Structure 1
C-alpha cells in the first residue's frame, strides 16, 4: 500500500462503515437499478485509454507500422497509452467502492488513429475522431468486450453511459482550394445556398434560401449542399467511414474551419473535423439509426452529447425523442441524456433545455461558481445566485436536479489544479480540504455529481486537455510523472487504485451518505445562508417533510453560526461532520465549522 499523507486511523473506521452502508444500498438497488432517476446517480467519468490496461495485445489496435500508423506511444501524452474496456471491467470493484452508480465512458467508437499536420500529429485516444460509428475502437477492445462491461456493471446495479458525437466525424474530407486543409470559414452571405462557389457562381436551388432546411419536403428541393469549397476524399479513404453513407461529401457542410462565433459554430469544421449536414433528414435518420442501435444492442443507460451547441436545434428536436423512445422500448425508463455546451452562465445554458429540448445539460455554471468560491475564495453569495436561477431551466428545479454537476474535467483541467494554482502558498492539508469541500458541494447540492477519474487519487495536472488526462495505471509520460499528487507520496508512475487514499475515502463516505438519504438526491434545495466573501454557505434538502441541512465553511477562519431551518424540532443527527444533538430552538441550528469543513445534519422530526 502506498504511504498516505494526512488523516489516518480515525478516518479508516468511518470509511469502513461508509463502505458497508454503500454496499448494502447497492445490493438493495441491483434488481431495480433501471428505476433510479437521473438525480439518484453518482457518475464516474473515465477515458478508457487512461484508466487500466487489461489486454496489452490490443495496444496498437492491430494496425501495425509505427506510432504514426497505429497511434500507440505510451511516452507521449497525445497518443494511445493502452487502457481498454477489459481493464475497466477488471476495476469495477474499485469504481463501485467509490460509490459510483453510473460509468460515463469517453467515446469508444473506431477512430482515425492519427491526425494532424506533419510534426504535430496526435492520436484518437480520446475517441472524438470517429470513422466507424458501429464498432468499438480496437485499441479499446471489441464490441463483445463492451457487452461484457455493460453486463458486469448491470449485474452490480450500475449504469453505463456512452459519450456520443453527432456534430462531426474524423477529418477525412479535403478542399481543393486549400493548402494542407487550412481553410477559412466561408459564410452563407458570401457563399449562399443559391450559388455554387460564391455570389457570382452557378445558380443552384433557385427560389430556396434554406431557412427551413430541416424538413424532408424542403430539403428534397436542394440538388446538394451549397459547396463553398470543392470537397474531395483522398485516395485510399473513400470507404473509411461506416455506415457507408458517411463517405459522401454531400452529407457535410464543407464551409471551412470553425472560427469566430455565429453561423460558423453550426456550419464550420470544428478543429478541422468534417462537419455533418445535420439539417439533412438523411443525416438525422442516419444518426438516429446509429445511436439507437447502441441502445438496442447493449442496453446503454444514457448519453453524454458532445459539442451539442454546434448542431442546429431542429436536429435535437428530432433526435432526442427518438433516443428516449428507443430506450423505453428496450426497458430503460430513465434514460439520462445530457448536453455538453460549454456555457458558464445559467441563461445560455438553460436555452438548450428550451429551444433544443435537451432533458438535461452538463452544469458548467455550477463548475464555474464552485471553482470561484472554493478554489479562489470568492463570495458564497455567488452560490446562492447560481441555485436561485434553477427555475430558468425547462422543467425548473426538477431539471436542475438531474443536470450532471462537476468540478473539473478532461477539457478544462482538474479541480485540484484550480485549487493549487489559486493558493500557491497553501499547505497540502489546506489543498486537500479545499478539494474535498468542492466534492462535498457537488455531492450534497442538487444535481447528479460527476467524478472525473483520478481526482479521487489526488491527481492535479498542469493544465487542460492532454495535461489533465493522466494514466491511472503506471504512466511513462514524464510530464505526468513529474507532477506531485495530493494526499500520497505516489506519482503517476505508480498504479493509482488505492482505496485508502484520503480523497477516495472521503468521497466514498459522501456517496454512502447520499445513497442512504433520499432527500440528498431528490429533495428540493433551499439556500439558507451565504456571505459576502469566503465563509458560510448553508442549504437544506427537503423531501416528504424530511429536512437535511448542509453547512460549509469556505474560509480560513473557524465559524460559529446559526442556520435557519423549517424543522419543527430541535433534535438533530449527524450524517457527516459535527452536528449538535440539539439546537437552541426549533427553526435554528447552531453549528461550529473549522476552516474548509462541512457538516450534514438531519432533523429527527418532520418539518
Structure 2
C-alpha cells in the first residue's frame, strides 16, 4: 500500500472501530439480546444481498443444470448482465462475516426460478437478479436447492439472524407475446380506448393456448366468478415452447394478465402496463390474490421465513395488498413468527406518497426512499441540514405516526439506483479520498443512529463504489471477472473487485460494525423516540436525541456535514446534569441548563449519553 493509502486507512480507523469502541468504556454493559423472533423490526439491522454476486460456494450449479451456451443457461462471469455463480452455499459459508458486521436480518434478493435469459438479439441479459420469475414454488437451480435454502435459514437463525425474502406479485418473466407487435414493442393501450369488457365477445384472433373457455360469452370484470375470457387490449399468445413454463400452472393462462402493452409509468399504466415487457398480472382478480397468498404462504410454512420485502409495490392495486398483507402476517403467526416484517418498495422520495401506502394499501412499512434522497442531498451533496429536520417532521403522516416511522427500512443506496459512495464521488469530483471516506462514514452514522431500520447494501462495507445504477452497482464480492467493476477505486482501501472482498479489517466494515455494536448496546438508538434538536440553512450541524424506551435520559447524536470545524450549543433536556461519551469528544456537562456545548471537526460526529438527571 502506498503512503496515501496508509494515511487514508489510518484516518478511517481513527473514525471507526478503535475510537468508537474505546469511547464506550464508561457506558453501561449491553443488555442480553432477546431471542431473535422476539425482536421487533426496529431492533434489527438489515443486510441486503444479491445471491448471485456474493459468494460462489458450488461451481457445479453455475449453469443451473441447463445445457448449451451463455444464451441458454445465462452464465457468463465476465458480463455484468449475466449469472456470475454466487449461490446459497456461498452465503451460508459467509454468515459469520455478515454477523460480524452487526447485521441481525438478511434481505435475500429473489431466489425463485427465473427465465435464464431475456431480450432481443444483441440485447440479451440473464435473470441473475431474480426478478424474472417463471416458477414461484422452487429455488432457482443457479442458486441451489430447497434443501440448501433450509440449511441457510437454519444457519442464519442459529446466529440470531432473521431471513427476509424478496417477493414479486406484480409480474412474471416476459413470456406472453402480442400478435399485433411482432417486435415485442407494444405501446400501452389505455382503458378509455380499450375498456376491460365490451359487448360482442372477443376481439382479434382466438388464442391457441390450449385453455378452455375461450369461446364462452364475455363477462364484465366486476363479476370475477363468471369471468371466462376478457376483451384484451392486445391479442396475447404464448410461444409453444413456453406454454407450460410457469408454475403454478394457472399462471400460464393469459386471462390472469392485463395484456395492455408496456407501461409508461404514468397514470393508470403504472398499475396496468407491462413493466419493461414483463407480464403484468391481473391482480384485481381474486384468483390471482388467492393464488399468491398460497404461493408465498408456503414459503413461510416450509422455511420459517421472517419477513418479506415486496418488489414493485406501487404497481399493484390497493385491494390486492389489503388482502395479501394481513394474510401473510396471520400465516406467520400460525408458524410461530410474531414479528413478521413486511415492507414494500415504493420508489418515490416524497414522504407523503410513501405514507399513502401505509394508510391506503395498509403496508406495515415501506422502504424509506425519502430518507435516502435527503441524506444524499445533505451529506453527499452538501445541502442544508434543515432538510433532514423537515424529513422527520413528515413522520406523522405514516399510519401510526412517528412510532410507525421507526419501522421503515432506511438505506443509502441499492441495486437499482446505485451506491452512496458513488453519489459522494459524483457530487464532489475534486474531493480527496479522505474527504470521500469521511462523507461515507458520516452517511452511515446517520443511517445507524437515526430512526428506522438500517439497511446495508452488500459491498458498501468494503468500500464498493460502482459506476452508476442497476448492473453497474451489482459487483461481485468474490473475485470478479467484469472489467468495468475491476477498474473502480474502492473507498478507504487499496483492494479491487478483482480479489475477494470479505475483509473484516476494511475501514468501512470496522466503522459500521462499531456503530452497530453501539446501536445494540443502547436500546434508545433503535427503539427510542427521536427528537430533532438543531439544524441549519446550510451545511453544518444537525443534532437529534433518542430517548430510552424505558424512560430516563437521552442519547444525543450530532453530525457536522460541513468541510470546516463547527462549534455551537445544542438544546437538550434541561434536567440533564452530566454527560458521558459514546463516540467522539463529548462535554461532561451542559454550559447552562438545557444548553449543551459541542465542537466537531469537519465531517465528524459525536454520540453522547445523559449520565445523570435531576
TM-score tier (shorter) = over 0.9
Q: Which residue does 1:45 correspond to in 2?
A: 48
The answer to whether structure 1 residue 192 and structure 2 residue 195 are counterparts is yes
Q: Which residue does 2:101 correspond to in 1?
A: 98
Cα distance in 1 for partners of 2:129, 2:563 equals 39
For the Cα contact (< 8 Å) 1:191–1:199, is it kept in 2?
no
- Paired residue secondary structure (1:270): coil
Q: After alignment, is 226-235 or 457-466 more displaced?
A: 226-235
Q: Which residue does 1:605 correspond to in 2?
A: 612
- Alpha carbons of 1:201 and 1:124: their partners in 2 closer, same or farther (altered >3 Å)? closer
Q: Which residue does 2:492 correspond to in 1?
A: 487
Q: Given the two structures, how large is their TM-score scaled by the length of structure 1?
A: 0.94
For the Cα contact (< 8 Å) 1:320–1:358, is it kept in 2?
yes
Q: Which residue does 2:151 correspond to in 1?
A: 148
- Alpha carbons of 1:275 and 1:21: their partners in 2 closer, same or farther (altered >3 Å)? farther
Deviations 1:101-141 (A, max 9, x none): 00001100000000000110000000000011011111111
For the Cα contact (< 8 Å) 1:573–1:604, is it kept in 2?
yes
Cα distance in 1 for partners of 2:561, 2:574 equals 25
For the Cα contact (< 8 Å) 2:30–2:522, is it kept in 1?
no
For the Cα contact (< 8 Å) 1:519–1:546, is it kept in 2?
no
Q: Which residue does 2:208 correspond to in 1?
A: none
Offset at residue 280 of structure 1 (A): 0.6
Offset at residue 570 of structure 1 (A): 2.4
Q: Which residue does 1:338 correspond to in 2?
A: 343
The answer to whether structure 1 residue 273 and structure 2 residue 278 are counterparts is yes
Cα distance in 2 for partners of 1:170, 1:201 equals 24
- Alpha carbons of 1:199 and 1:300: their partners in 2 closer, same or farther (altered >3 Å)? closer
Deviations 1:211-251 (A, max 9, x none): xx4xxxx3224333331111111011111111111111111
- Paired residue secondary structure (2:63): coil
Cα distance in 1 for partners of 2:217, 2:575 equals 70
For the Cα contact (< 8 Å) 1:550–1:599, is it kept in 2?
yes
CA RMSD after TM alignment? 2.3
Match of 2:111 among 104, 108, 113: 108
Offset at residue 19 of structure 1 (A): 12
Deviations 1:370-398 (A, max 9, x none): 00000000010100000011000011111
For the Cα contact (< 8 Å) 1:184–1:257, is it kept in 2?
yes
The answer to whether structure 1 residue 132 and structure 2 residue 139 are counterparts is no
Offset at residue 589 of structure 1 (A): 1.4
The answer to whether structure 1 residue 55 and structure 2 residue 58 are counterparts is yes
For the Cα contact (< 8 Å) 1:527–1:538, is it kept in 2?
yes
- Paired residue secondary structure (1:442): helix
Cα distance in 1 for partners of 2:154, 2:47 equals 17
- Paired residue secondary structure (2:612): coil
Q: Which residue does 2:462 correspond to in 1?
A: 457
For the Cα contact (< 8 Å) 2:346–2:367, is it kept in 1?
yes
For the Cα contact (< 8 Å) 1:18–1:509, is it kept in 2?
no
Cα distance in 2 for partners of 1:224, 1:440 equals 55
- Alpha carbons of 1:236 and 1:575: their partners in 2 closer, same or farther (altered >3 Å)? same
Q: Which residue does 2:209 correspond to in 1?
A: none
Q: Which residue does 1:89 correspond to in 2?
A: 92
The answer to whether structure 1 residue 242 and structure 2 residue 247 are counterparts is yes
- Alpha carbons of 1:35 and 1:18: their partners in 2 closer, same or farther (altered >3 Å)? farther
Q: Which residue does 2:353 correspond to in 1?
A: 348
Q: After alignment, is 139-148 or 222-231 more displaced?
A: 222-231
The answer to whether structure 1 residue 531 and structure 2 residue 536 are counterparts is yes
- Paired residue secondary structure (2:554): strand
- Paired residue secondary structure (2:143): coil
Offset at residue 587 of structure 1 (A): 1.6
Aligned residues: 597
Cα distance in 1 for partners of 2:26, 2:127 equals 40
Deviations 1:256-289 (A, max 9, x none): 1111401111111101001111011011000000
Cα distance in 2 for partners of 1:163, 1:523 equals 28
- Alpha carbons of 1:198 and 1:361: their partners in 2 closer, same or farther (altered >3 Å)? farther
Cα distance in 2 for partners of 1:12, 1:370 equals 23
Match of 1:592 among 592, 599, 610: 599
- Paired residue secondary structure (1:82): coil
Aligned runs of 1:550-569 on 2, under 5 Å? 550-569=557-576
Cα distance in 1 for partners of 2:196, 2:445 equals 52
Q: Which residue does 2:309 correspond to in 1?
A: 304
Cα distance in 1 for partners of 2:427, 2:298 equals 45
For the Cα contact (< 8 Å) 1:197–1:228, is it kept in 2?
no
The answer to whether structure 1 residue 254 and structure 2 residue 242 are counterparts is no
- Alpha carbons of 1:269 and 1:4: their partners in 2 closer, same or farther (altered >3 Å)? farther
Q: Which residue does 2:480 correspond to in 1?
A: 475
- Alpha carbons of 1:510 and 1:12: their partners in 2 closer, same or farther (altered >3 Å)? closer
Q: Which residue does 1:366 correspond to in 2?
A: 371
The answer to whether structure 1 residue 517 and structure 2 residue 522 are counterparts is yes
Q: Which residue does 1:175 correspond to in 2?
A: 178
- Paired residue secondary structure (2:576): coil
Deviations 1:283-334 (A, max 9, x none): 1000000000000011101100000000000000000000000010011111
- Alpha carbons of 1:263 and 1:14: their partners in 2 closer, same or farther (altered >3 Å)? same
Q: Which residue does 1:6 correspond to in 2?
A: 8
- Paired residue secondary structure (1:493): coil
Cα distance in 1 for partners of 2:21, 2:581 equals 17
Cα distance in 2 for partners of 1:322, 1:378 equals 42
Cα distance in 1 for partners of 2:295, 2:124 equals 29
Cα distance in 1 for partners of 2:172, 2:553 equals 49
Q: Which residue does 2:388 correspond to in 1?
A: 383
Cα distance in 2 for partners of 1:35, 1:344 equals 31
- Alpha carbons of 1:18 and 1:89: their partners in 2 closer, same or farther (altered >3 Å)? farther
Q: Which residue does 2:121 correspond to in 1?
A: 118
